[in-house]
Chain A
Amino acid sequence: MLIILSLLFGSIAIGCLCKNIQPLKVFSDKVSITILLLLFTLGLSVGMQDAVVGNILNLGFTAFAIAAVCVAGSVVLTGCLSRFAERRRK
């Protein structure tokens, strides 16, 4: 975790300081290739685990429940807070 956070903050700082360096810009623009490579490796590790593959429908249901509940939490709280802020402004 420390390595990841150091890399993140270090690269944000480098990005701010070296905005006009073309090779760095080209490198950061290739992010979608890296994402696809990573997802392919994640797929590989999932495929190698027979128990995970066998449980794929259950995982899909759990994932949908998590997504629906997370969206509900954020829209309800945002709706309440924005109504409260609007009332206070009036």
Chain B
Amino acid sequence: MKWILTVVAVFCAGILIGMSDIVTSEWYSSDISTIILYILVVQVGLGIGMSGNLTKIVKNLNLSTLLIPVSTVVGTIALAAALSFAFSDLSVSDCMALGSGFGYYSLSSVLISEIKEPLVGAQKAAELGMLALLANIFRELIAIGFAPYFKKTFGKFATVSAAGVTSMDVLLPTIVKHSGKEMVPAALVNGIALEIVTPLLVCYFASL
């Protein structure tokens, strides 16, 4: 929770400074955020490679543990695509890119705004980046708040699926509390698999 508050505070500070005339558009170029994004992608990649999680995922690979990330991805993207018909200003691929964050709000929001800027312009790209940030923060909050209901109605795997990428870190204690300790391997595999899949899907759908 402390981390989410920090994220929201830093993002709001950026908005406030952007609204004031402290930073002008000539002074601030989108190349700065592109360079920082490349640094972030390298850090995420190094983190995945150095953690040894890839060997863990291969060792824990079986049909039931694979079922959760696959159904999370398919269920999320299918309904995100269906939702696009309710919003006239969002295309099917936009909604699929926004849904593909799976709770990874930091990376997905920046990826979407960076990839979209040359395609749709700065304003629409900023709007989509903000939507991705908020939608993925909300996903985490819904997964925390509704965990007991998900377990009761859809079974013990549902708490892991709702958590998305955060099933391996932020939401792991919530998952253990409501679905039991036996869910830990499935939660880790789900989180790691989605952490790898998120940048691929976001990049793909955002570039359509």
Chain B associates with chain A: yes
A residues bordering B, Cβ < 8 Å? 1, 3-5, 7-19, 24-25, 27-32, 34-49, 51-53, 55, 59-60, 62-79, 81-83, 85
A39 to B150, CA, bound (A): 31
Tell whether, in the assembled complex, residue B199 and residue A8 are in contact, meaning their CB atoms are under 8 Å apart.
yes
Give a binary string over B56-73; 1 marks a CB under 8 Å from any A CB, 0 the rest: 000000011001100111
B191 proximal to A (CB < 8 A): no
B46 proximal to A (CB < 8 A): yes
A29 to B3, CA, bound (A): 15
B33 contacts which of A45, A64, A71 (Cβ < 8 Å)? A45
Tell whether, in the assembled complex, residue A47 and residue B16 are in contact, meaning their CB atoms are under 8 Å apart.
yes
Known: A13-B49, A69-B83, A77-B75. A59 touches B11 (CB 8 A): no
- What residues on A are CB-neighbors of B131 within 8 Å? 59, 62-63, 66
- Main DSSP-derived SS at the A contact region: helix
- What residues on A are CB-neighbors of B82 within 8 Å? 69
Tell whether, in the assembled complex, residue B123 and residue A78 are in contact, meaning their CB atoms are under 8 Å apart.
no
Q: In angstroms, how far is the closest chain B Cβ from the Cβ of A58?
A: 10
- What residues on A are CB-neighbors of B42 within 8 Å? 7, 11
- What residues on A are CB-neighbors of B95 within 8 Å? 66
Give 8 A-B contacts (CB < 8 Å), ordered by A residue: A42-B133, A43-B16, A48-B126, A49-B123, A62-B135, A74-B162, A77-B72, A78-B75
Tell whether, in the assembled complex, residue B135 and residue A30 are in contact, meaning their CB atoms are under 8 Å apart.
no
- What residues on B are CB-neighbors of A34 within 8 Å? 36, 39-40, 43
B161 contacts which of A28, A52, A78 (Cβ < 8 Å)? A78
B residues bordering A, Cβ < 8 Å? 3, 6-7, 10-20, 23, 25, 28, 30, 32-33, 36-52, 54, 63-64, 67-68, 71-80, 82-83, 86-87, 90, 95, 98-99, 106-107, 109-111, 113, 115, 122-123, 125-127, 129-131, 133-139, 142-143, 146, 150, 153-158, 160-162, 164, 199-200, 203-204, 206-207
- What residues on B are CB-neighbors of A49 within 8 Å? 122-123, 126-127
- What residues on B are CB-neighbors of A42 within 8 Å? 11, 14, 33, 109-110, 113, 126, 129-130, 133
Tell whether, in the assembled complex, residue A5 and residue B200 are in contact, meaning their CB atoms are under 8 Å apart.
yes
Tell whether, in the assembled complex, residue A52 and residue B47 are in contact, meaning their CB atoms are under 8 Å apart.
no
Most chain B beta-carbon neighbours within 10 Å: one of A48, A64, A72: A48
A24 contacts which of B46, B54, B200 (Cβ < 8 Å)? B46
The chain B residue with its CB closest to the CB of A37 is: B36
